[in-house]
Amino acid sequence: MTPALRLEVLSAGDLDAIHAETLQVLEETGVFVEDDEALDIFADGGASIDRETGMVRIPGEVVEAAIAGCPQDDDGPVRFCNFDEGVMYVDPRSGERRDPTKADAGDAARLVDALRNIDSYGAAVRPTDVPAATAAVHGCEAALLNTSKGVGAEATSGWEVRVCAELGACIAGSLDALRDDAVVGFGTCPVSPLQLPRDATEVIVECARLGLSDTILSMAMAGASAPVTLAGALVAHNAEVLSGITLAQLTERGAPVVYGSSTTAMDLRYAAASVGSPEMALIGAAAAQIARRYKLPSCIAGA
């Protein structure tokens, strides 16, 4: 992209103010962490832990050291990826909207494989015709069988991360080769406001240990699970994502992470997320700018 086309929705001063406010939130309010192992990792890394409440308060210097320890973004051209993860599926043959199957996950992956402008596949649907506890594993298998593009797996536990990584290793050759080939990557969503539940921290910790890419992506809603102002929503969002990135780096310095945003506003008239709105466009652009300030790759909801 030519420099002339670069969009800045935040000034350098805006970025500094959001960063400073975020550090204050992490240091004074903190985040709720459900899992004991994750609490131990935060405690060992210099955060102050309240075992009674699960609140973790992280000093600014710990957060900044974590950001600096992440692998830097290559600043390459933007890549596009499909949405993950839908709970319903529209069958293109019949037009029927229904519960998704493993075959649907394979079809979605095959489409991504064929479409020139979709660069990687994220688990488009969670199959409902397989055991619920291994649905992510079946979805990952269906994807890998139908596309040679990179596959994002929707793991919700450390165990699922390991099994999906093993699937990727079947293609890459080994777990070591998997790190270089980016056959399989993962994603984690903190819960807004300011919570890292067990499924999120297990995925973050396991990905860090395996050295596999984890997209830490918040989906706060301004006016509901985050402040109604876009600046305030960005601070809450940033605190959530940085808490996850800090956990990854405290687990394994240099763990590959992606700064993610699906944050938007809630349309307060309908109590519905306004996706595809000018608010989301502004927040997404701002989140991409924040990630660039941190020299991190970013994954932004948009297409």
Partner 1 sequence: MGHEKTLTALAAALAGASYVYGAGMTESGVTFDPAVLVMDDEWIAMIRHFLGGINVNRETLGGADIAAVGPFGDFLSLPSTYAHMREQSQPRIMDRRVREEWESDGATDMYARARVRACEIIESHEREPLDEEARRRMRAVVERADKERGS
Applying CB under 8 A, the span of 19-27, 227-235, 238-246, 278-286 interacting with partner 1 comes to: 278-286
Q: Could you say which residues in the range 148-167 bind partner 1, by CB under 8 A?
A: 148, 159, 163, 166-167
Instruction: Tell me how far apart the alpha carbons of residues 190 and 57 are, in angstroms, rounded to a whole number.
Output: 16
- Binding of residue 134 to partner 1 (CB under 8 A): yes
- Binding of residue 90 to partner 1 (CB under 8 A): yes
Q: Which of 78, 33, 30 minimizes the C-alpha distance to 204?
A: 33
Give whichever of 189 and 205 is closer to partner 1, judged by the CB atom. 189
Query: What DSSP designation does 149 have?
Result: S
- Binding of residue 175 to partner 1 (CB under 8 A): no
Q: Which of 13, 28, 51, 95 binds partner 1 (CB under 8 A)?
A: 95
Instruction: Tell me how far apart the alpha carbons of residues 227 and 39 are, in angstroms, rounded to a whole number.
Output: 26
Instruction: Tell me how far apart the alpha carbons of residues 19 and 64 are, in angstroms, rounded to a whole number.
Output: 10
Binding residues for partner 1, rule CB under 8 A, total 92
Cβ at position 121, least distance to partner 1 in Å: 10
Applying CB under 8 A, the span of 13-21, 44-52, 249-257, 275-283 interacting with partner 1 comes to: 275-283
Q: Which of 174, 261, 168, 173 minimizes the C-alpha distance to 213?
A: 168
- Binding of residue 12 to partner 1 (CB under 8 A): no
Instruction: Tell me how far apart the alpha carbons of residues 261 and 280 are, in angstroms, rounded to a whole number.
Output: 10
Give whichever of 68 and 145 is closer to partner 1, judged by the CB atom. 145
Provide the 3-class DSSP secondary structure of residue 97: strand
- Binding of residue 202 to partner 1 (CB under 8 A): no
Burial 189-224 (b: 16+ CB within 10 A, else e): bbbbbbbbbbbbbbbbbbbbebbbbbbbbbbbbbbb
Give whichever of 42 and 89 is closer to partner 1, judged by the CB atom. 89
Cβ at position 42, least distance to partner 1 in Å: 27
Give whichever of 20 and 303 is closer to partner 1, judged by the CB atom. 303
Give whichever of 39 and 286 is closer to partner 1, judged by the CB atom. 286
Q: Could you say which residues in the range 236-255 bind partner 1, by CB under 8 A?
A: none
- Binding of residue 21 to partner 1 (CB under 8 A): no
- Binding of residue 278 to partner 1 (CB under 8 A): yes
Q: Which of 26, 56, 124, 248 binds partner 1 (CB under 8 A)?
A: 124
Q: Is there a contact between 245 and 216 (Cβ–Cβ < 8 Å)?
A: yes
Q: Which two tokens stand for residue 255?
A: 């763990």
Q: Is there a contact between 153 and 105 (Cβ–Cβ < 8 Å)?
A: no
Q: Which of 81, 153, 161, 248 binds partner 1 (CB under 8 A)?
A: 81
Provide the 3-class DSSP secondary structure of residue 261: strand
